[in-house]
Amino acid sequence: MKKVIFFILIILFCLASMDVLAAYPTKGVTLICPWSPGGGTDMVARILASELEKEYGVPFSVVNKPGGGGAVGHGAGAYAKPDGYTITLSTLEIATMHSMGLTQLTYEDFDYVMQVNEDPAAVIVRSDALWDSVTELVVDIAMHPGEYKFSGTGAGGIWDLARIGLLDSLGIPADSVLWIPTQGSGPAIVELLGGHVDVLTCSAPIADSQLEGEFKLLAVMSDTRDQKYPDIPTLKELGINWSAGTWRGITVPKGTPKEIIDSLYEKLSKIVASSEYKDLMKKAGFGIKVRDPEEFYNFAKEQDSTWRSMLDKGGYLKK
């Protein structure tokens, strides 16, 4: 009799769990952005949250958790309850933070839903800067090591690594310029506006409104020209063999039920294929790059080893 009751309870529990999953979500969902308001990740997060809210009919609230070079926000996302009610717009830093000793968290601590974006880095200066090309800038840096300040994100973040790779490709030591760390590209823009730094390396869309007057875009670090900025050369066109950029995608805590991951993937697939989403991303200047859960996981794993060299060159690799 006890065995019969036990099996009945198990069946009832399974049925109840299936009902909960089938109804997901029954309440609002938190979308963690590991970077400050006003930056590129924040902007993409708010576009996705708005579209997911339309699809599911419940609030998707963006919560910014900057700090620790991305470790604070990614940690909050990874260690949340794996029930689908906390998701994260993860960035490349999930593949680099542990190599820097910022956290024990790695790409393995997440389950992957979908990569939604990929953007190249760019080189941006104030409109009144003396340099009108990257060539003029790097020659000046080589002649005056230690004189200029760069910014774009936290120390060892992707925009910092983009800066290190640019200099390294020309045989210029990373410490020839000073990197001023910030909680993201939004605060870095404020630093450049205030004249506290000389150069930004971040994606161009982040500073798009300032490019109409306060800033000028010298080059993009992509293999081909950006369609939104067709007159701006790539580094490779200038004879500098370097390209770099960031990526963003939705992740969930390890152990999140597959049914919830599948539901999010289904909704996101519909969103990224829609003309509304494509128009929003194009207007904001962000690229669309889609990878499914398995592809996204394998890509994050590959990125974990790819960037170790640049971390080492920048002196960030924890031995």
Domain assignment of residue 65, yes or no: yes
152 and 102 share one domain? no
Residue 179 has pLDDT above 80, yes or no: yes
pLDDT above 90: residue 217: yes
User: Does 264 lie in the same domain as 211?
Assistant: no
Residues 127 and 163 in one domain: yes
pTM above 0.85, yes or no: no
Q: Strands 110-120 and 245-253, how do they pair?
A: antiparallel
- Answer yes or no: is 251 within a domain: yes
Confidence grade of residue 212 (pLDDT, cut at 50, 70, 90): confident
Among residues 221, 238, 255, which one ends one of the domains? 238
Radius of gyration of the chain (CA): 21
pLDDT tier, 20 (very low <50, low <70, confident <90, very high otherwise) = very low
Asked if residue 162 is part of any domain, the answer here is yes
Residues 115 and 128 in one domain: no
Q: What confidence tier does 4 reach under pLDDT thresholds 50, 70, 90?
A: very low
> Any idea what the CATH number is for the domain that residue 90 is in?
3.40.190.150
Same domain, 87 and 195: no
Question: Is residue 229 domain-shared with residue 255, that is, in the same domain?
Answer: no
pLDDT at 22: 61
Cα dist. 53→6, 15, 26, 36, 102 in Å? 40, 27, 12, 22, 33
pLDDT at 2 > cutoff 90: no
Averaged pLDDT for residues 139-151: 97
134 with 230, same domain: the answer is yes
CB count, 10 Å around CB of 38? 16
Q: What is the pLDDT of residue 12?
A: 47
Q: Are residues 54 and 154 part of one domain?
A: no
Answer yes or no: do 136 and 67 share one domain: no
* Residue 93 and residue 229 in one domain: no
pLDDT, averaged across the chain = 92
The pLDDT of residue 47 is 96
Number of domains in the chain: 2
pLDDT surpasses 90 at 306: no
Residue type, 272: V
Position 97 confidence tier, pLDDT thresholds 50, 70, 90: very high
Q: Does 131 share its domain with 232?
A: yes
Please determine, for residue 19, whether its predicted confidence score (pLDDT) is greater than 50.
no
Residue 269 lies in a domain: yes
115 within a domain of the structure (yes/no): yes
Domain assignment of residue 200, yes or no: yes
pLDDT value of position 10: 52
Choosing from 175, 204, 238, the residue where a domain stops is: 238
pLDDT at residue 16 tops 50: no
| Residue-wise pLDDT tens digits, 22-67 | 689 999 999 999 999 988 999 999 999 999 999 999 999 999 999 9
Task: Look up residue 88 and give its amino acid.
Answer: T
In a domain, 318, yes or no: no
Residue at a domain's end among 212, 238, 264: 238
Domain that holds residue 23: 2-119+247-313
80 lies in some domain: yes
Q: How far apart are CA 200 and CA 51, in angstroms?
A: 30
Looking at the structure, do residues 114 and 211 belong to the same domain, yes or no?
no
> Whose structure tokens read 């960030």?
316
* Beta-sheet strands, E only, within the chain: 29-33, 60-64, 86-91, 110-120, 122-126, 149-151, 178-180, 199-202, 215-220, 245-253
Instruction: Provide the CATH number for the domain around residue 206.
Output: 3.40.190.10
% residues pLDDT > 90 (the chain): 85
CA 219 to chain centre: 20
Give yes or no for residue 21 having a pLDDT over 90.
no
